[in-house]
Amino acid sequence: MEHAICSSLVFGKKYKREHLIEFVEMNKLMGAQIISLYVDYSSVDKQFIEAVRFYQRQGILDTVGFHASGKRIWYHGQLAMVMDCLVRHSAVTRCVAFRHLDEFIVVPNGKKVDVLPE
């Protein structure tokens, strides 16, 4: 596998189904073969979960249920998610990118990402 995307925790009502669809479809166009998404299923809306299930059935989306409660864990457990996702993908993919659902890599020439400059 060439490219994996890791996204930080999705929780609450900030992100809607449309955000997930845009994120997954854009990353598929850019060449991602797998997207790992960390989801607090207890706090997102039903339509978002339905979109998650759709992409899981396609095999493009891998999800991890995650709930970080309290203020004793930095930024909803972001460091734990980054390390988990890196370990999941580093041995089986050539490139791992970390992004939020509202962030995209845009390549000016419109081609798929081969390798980002070091």
Each residue's pLDDT tens digit, 26-83: 999 888 999 999 999 999 999 999 999 999 999 999 999 987 666 666 666 778 888 9
Return the closest-CA partner of residue 33 out of 24, 42, 41, 43: 24
- Give the mean pLDDT of 89-102: 88
CA-based torsion, 88, 90, 94, 98: positive or negative: positive
Residue 9 and residue 99 in contact, taking contact as beta carbons nearer than 8 Å = no
pTM of the model: 0.82
Encoded tokens for 92:
């089986």
Q: Where are the domains of the chain?
A: 3-99
